[in-house]
Amino acid sequence: MLQAFLSDARLLELAARYHTPLYIFDEATIRARCQELKSCITYPNHRIRYACKALTLQAVLRVVLDEGLWIDASSINEVHRALRAGFNPSEIYYTGEGATKEVYRDLIDRRILINCTSIDQIRLLGSLKTAAPLRCSIRVNPGEGHGETNKTNTGGPSSKHGIYLDQVEEARKVAASHGITLIGVHSHIGSGTDLAHWLRIKDKTLAIARGFPDLEFVNLGGGLPVRYHPDDERMPLQEWGAALSDSMAQFSKELGRDIRLLIEPGRFVVAECGLLVAEVQSVKSTPDYNFVIVNTGHNHNIRPAMYGSYHPIRFIPADGRPAGETKPHVVAGYLCESGDVFTVKADGTLLPRDFPTVAVGDVMVMSHVGAYSHAMKSEYNSMNLPASLMITRDGTVTVVERRGNLNDIMRRELEAYGEGRVSM
């Protein structure tokens, strides 16, 4: 989809006009993913919440809002960004590890539903004075997880997330002692979860939820896989949606009341909507490797360096020359970090890929960077943040976030010294 609007000539033009590095996001892809999800869950009492930590730009939140999705937020600032984009408080759900009293106060005052992730957080909630009776859900760790690596695994004994299943009973007692009604059970075991695993965790979560007398909903989390690499399996979404729908219909029948199903995908909604565009600054070699150095790095997409994640990469010759001989190259960033490499395994082993001759000035196009790339960006090495463009449904290009500059990097410091703008 993204490619339909973006010929190589157009990409070169956008790179020249808006500077590199540059993020480009595609509205049509986000809408297509939302619609795909909506079409495969037939159980009527369900809601899809977009886990907005994946990509939190206002332009993206507004598209998701227009598609009728709700929001899963992981910080108070994500909550405020969602409110600003137009979501109602009742459409936002908060799951944050280690929230402070001030955060919970703000959430309660705004009537935003809290998902407590530990027994201590239930106690914290119970300590707050409120006019209305307190209600919340709890995040449970169902005893097993899933993820590309241990770093993305959010369940099982090695995970800090949620209340471990053997402590759920204690959580219920603590909630009851504070007069808190537990209305939901939530689990999220990690990203890239396959169908069989998803369905097993669904069963485990429903088994836990069965013991909650005031249960109104079950939230089965996110983690729907995305095909980053051509060898990655596709999730059979229709089968997945049908299995969830059947289970929930049966569960509601068994409990004799209508229990709402929630899911909260992040990457599935946005991963494929994004490109990271950069310029080749150098092509060099050691006795063992050819390196292509581009003017971006793990400050703009940390996934390869952090998880060894694969992202499709190609180069557009700036001079229109025909593709030359193919050679293996390691694609690396411009940061002063050895780990600033895009073609790499999680343990740091370099993974050269074959590319036709690459030259200085060529434009690198890295795809599938919609999720957890822009969202995890940093100003490391005092590098300016890229601008973000949105290609709207009719192909119009809109700047949805301007390029960063030195003033952005130093703003809070300058305020601390009572100084004004820096010269650029």
Ligand X SMILES: Cc1ncc(COP(=O)(O)O)c(C=O)c1O
206 binds ligand X (CB under 6 A): no
Question: What is the distance, to the nearest Å, from the Cα of residue 166 to the centroid of all Cα atoms in its chain?
Answer: 29
DSSP H helices in 313-417: 406-416
Q: Which of 31, 33, 81, 188 touches ligand X by CB under 6 A? A: 188
Contact 332, 280 (CB under 8 A): no
Q: Which of 20, 95, 141, 153 touches ligand X by CB under 6 A? A: 95
Q: Which of 126, 156, 184, 223 touches ligand X by CB under 6 A? A: 223
Q: Which of 268, 291, 310, 334 touches ligand X by CB under 6 A? A: 268
The number of residues that bind ligand X (CB under 6 A) is: 17
45-74 footprint of ligand X as x/- string (CB under 6 A): ------x--x-----------------x--
308 binds ligand X (CB under 6 A): no
Q: Which of 126, 142, 155, 222 touches ligand X by CB under 6 A? A: 222
Q: Which is nearer to ligand X, 226 or 387 (CB)?
A: 226
* Interface positions, 270-299, toward ligand X (CB under 6 A): none
| Residue 380, strand partner residues | none
Q: How far is the CB of 270 from ligand X (least distance, A)?
A: 8
1-40 footprint of ligand X as x/- string (CB under 6 A): ----------------------------------------
Cα gap 386→274, rounded to integer Å: 13
The DSSP 8-state label assigned to residue 70 in this structure reads E
Q: How far is the CB of 54 from ligand X (least distance, A)?
A: 5
342, 337, 336: which is closest to 291 by C-alpha?
342
Can you give the three-state secondary structure of 269-317, one letter per residue? HHHHHEEEEEEEEEEEECCCCEEEEECCCCCCCCHHHHHCCCCCEEEEC
369-398 footprint of ligand X as x/- string (CB under 6 A): --x---------------------------
Q: Which of 264, 272, 279, 340 touches ligand X by CB under 6 A? A: 264
Give helix 27-40 / helix 237-255 axis angle, nearest 10°.
50
| Residue 164, strand partner residues | 141
Q: Coil, strand, or helix at residue 381?
A: helix
Which of the stretches 23-31, 220-228, 294-302, 332-340 binds ligand X when contact is defined by CB under 6 A? 220-228
Q: How far is the CB of 370 from ligand X (least distance, A)?
A: 10
Name the residue type at position 33: R
Which amino acids are annotated catalytic? 336
Q: How many DSSP H helices and E strands does the chain contain? A: 13, 18
Q: How far is the CB of 12 from ligand X (least distance, A)?
A: 32
Cα gap 394→346, rounded to integer Å: 39
Q: How many C-alpha atoms does 387 have within 13 Å on its Cβ side?
A: 15
Q: How far is the CB of 371 from ligand X (least distance, A)?
A: 6
Cα gap 272→14, rounded to integer Å: 19
118 binds ligand X (CB under 6 A): no
Find the helix or strand (DSSP H, E) in which 12 lies: helix 8-18
Q: Which is nearer to ligand X, 255 or 376 (CB)?
A: 376
Cα gap 57→61, rounded to integer Å: 6
Cα gap 134→118, rounded to integer Å: 16
300 binds ligand X (CB under 6 A): no
Q: Which is nearer to ligand X, 22 or 76 (CB)?
A: 76
Q: Which is nearer to ligand X, 54 or 163 (CB)?
A: 54
* Interface positions, 127-166, toward ligand X (CB under 6 A): 154
| Residue 153, strand partner residues | 190
Q: Which is nearer to ligand X, 31 or 188 (CB)?
A: 188
Q: Which residues of this chain interact with ligand X, rule CB under 6 A?
A: 51, 54, 72, 95, 154, 188, 191, 221-224, 264-268, 371
